[in-house]
A and B are shown apart, each in its own frame.
Chain A
Amino acid sequence: MSILIYAESADGKFKKVAFELASYAKAVAQNMGTSVTAVTINAGEVSELSKYGVDKVLKVNSDKLAGFTAKAYADVIKQAAQKENVKLVLLSSTTDSLYLAPLVAVALEAGFASNVVGLPVSTSPFQVKRHAFSNKAFNVTEISTDVKVLSLGKNSYGVFENASSQTEEDFAPSISDADFGVKVQSVEKSTGKVTIADADIVVSAGRGMKGPENWGIIEDLAATLGAATACSKPVSDLDWRPHGEHVGQTGKPVAANLYVAVGISGAIQHIAGINSSKVKLVINSDPEAPFFKVADYGVVGDLFEIVPKLNEKLKAFKAQNA
């Protein structure tokens, strides 16, 4: 009756969300008096998971699973859940995990709750708190099925060390050709850039930038902070920046530790998309900009003066604290 997590990896290395998920699972398991089992797919060295409290690892290694295929990966997780007779399956909120989660839920006849924040409100009946209404509210959802699937919102719990003595086991689920109806033809990925999904810090800019030619100061600031760059919807609609940078309710969600908004007034749809970020810093010339109402820190003034100056200050700070 262990809890099962799918510990996601890329190129043989665990993603940070895998450690957050393991930390979360450990806390839930301790509340419920049970243990944590992780299933990994082509993850390489798995001992790192023991730092975060994983008690047992089911290692799946298969050339067939070299590229991500939602249906096949969901099938592996389902078989792992059945083998261990688990009642609770935990997934993270990466694009891949959100793709396979409903497939796992249907296969296990399990109720599914996504965007979960914090530990279960209650374990009997089983209730969890989750984001709803695009971060404008929370909702407590009760899951009444025997087996339950949750996906944990990114950056909503944190990473905590809690060492365990971990056992490892090779697991060879049966993988059916029928799982490969959707085939990957090619992958186009910008390399060497921090992605919005992975970033701890996101630097985002809006129409206050006046034109795409002025983005150098934003990229410099992002480089200093090791941050991803993002933009508001009007900027993406005007084609000043690539569409993949659009964050907000209809763009990408952001759940960073620090979100820096430069020259963005803060429309309700924009705020909804970024509100899961922990700390918000707003730089805007208009003291009445709605964004200041939800910000933690703010600077009112000319962004073309403030951003380069802040960048210099941060560079000096980084040099000192390196």
Chain B
Amino acid sequence: MKILVCISHVPDTTSKINFTNGDSEFDTNGVQYVINPNDEFGLTRAIWFQEQQGANVTVVNVGGPDTEPTLRKALAIGANEAIRVNATPTDGFFVAKQLAEVIKNGGYDLVIAGKESLDYNGGMVPGMVAGLLGYNFVNSCIELKVDGTAATAAREIDGGKEILSASLPLIIGGQKGLVEEKDLRIPNMRGIMTARTKVLTVLEPVAANVETKAVKFEKPAPKSAVKLFSADDLDGLVSALHNEAKVI
């Protein structure tokens, strides 16, 4: 089984978010980048398929040369090889177009992407890839098994889960649940060393229509100070929730 894991290179979850150039660009100053957490759950599941079922795992990212350390980290975690599509992503559709091309040419059986990235939160890339290729697609995937060409997946739904079956090739929009937090791997020294010599192919992008663009960013308005109630004045709190906030 050939697996492609799509990796988004995003600011670490603890990053302070600031903007520059008249609030038109994300300020990368002092920002640490990581594998998008939703993608890391998928990568870890893919490595499980590699170890248990002999799958071959390729990771791919659409981004400039500065994103290569993130791909190398994925290789250090255990992916067999990496692809970087050499372009600065303009929107989700652009990324989906590039990934669809890589998938078509690479003949992958299973494609795992995070259901959304933690920077733009577009939540569109895996679905658009599936739409472009006409492949089966499961979003918000929290469990995944593959037997031959048959996959069984669980999808998170409001208040529970739905068990789905589909044949490969299949596109997954993954999240926590594919593996749990405790299953995530920190690259060890041997992994880091071997990652240096693994193949990282750089491809040039294909053309894609510009559908959307981010024109401006804003930070939320500063919050007014919290209203504190003492433990002896819970009546005051209940009254504020009712009369002022009008939420009960």
Contact = CB atoms under 8 A, between A and B. Distances in A.
A96 B248 contact: no
Most buried by B among A100, A106, A306: A106
A105 B220 CA distance: 29
A189 B227 contact: no
B124 A101 contact: yes
A70 B92 CA distance: 19
B223 A105 contact: no
B186 interface: no
Interface stretch (B49-57, B78-86, B125-133): B125-133
B165 A182 contact: yes
Interface residues of A, number: 95
Given A114-B124, A185-B164, A313-B238, A106 B132 contact: yes
A98 interface: yes
A102 B127 contact: yes
- Scoring B128, B226, B242 by chain A CB atoms within 10 A of each residue's CB, the highest score goes to B226
Contacts of A99: 127, 139-140, 155, 173
Nearest to B123: A114
B231 interface: yes
Interface stretch (A161-169, A210-218, A246-254): A246-254
Interface stretch (B64-72, B102-110, B174-182, B199-207): B174-182
A246 B234 CA distance: 28
A186 interface: yes
A9 interface: no
Q: Which label, helix, strand, loop or mixed, suits the secondary structure of the A interface?
A: mixed
A138 B26 CA distance: 11
Interface of B: 11, 13-14, 17, 19, 37-38, 91-93, 96, 118-128, 130-132, 134, 136-140, 152, 155-167, 173, 175-177, 180-182, 209-220, 223, 226-231, 234-235, 237-238, 240-242, 245, 247-248
Q: Which 6 A-B pairs have the closest CB atoms?
A: A102-B127, A106-B131, A111-B211, A189-B160, A195-B159, A258-B247
10 contacts: A102-B123, A132-B121, A137-B218, A178-B134, A182-B165, A182-B166, A183-B164, A185-B152, A193-B159, A225-B248
Given A187-B162, A251-B176, 16 more contacts: A136-B220, A139-B214, A178-B134, A181-B167, A182-B138, A182-B166, A237-B182, A257-B247, A269-B13, A279-B241, A281-B241, A293-B226, A296-B226, A297-B226, A300-B231, A302-B231
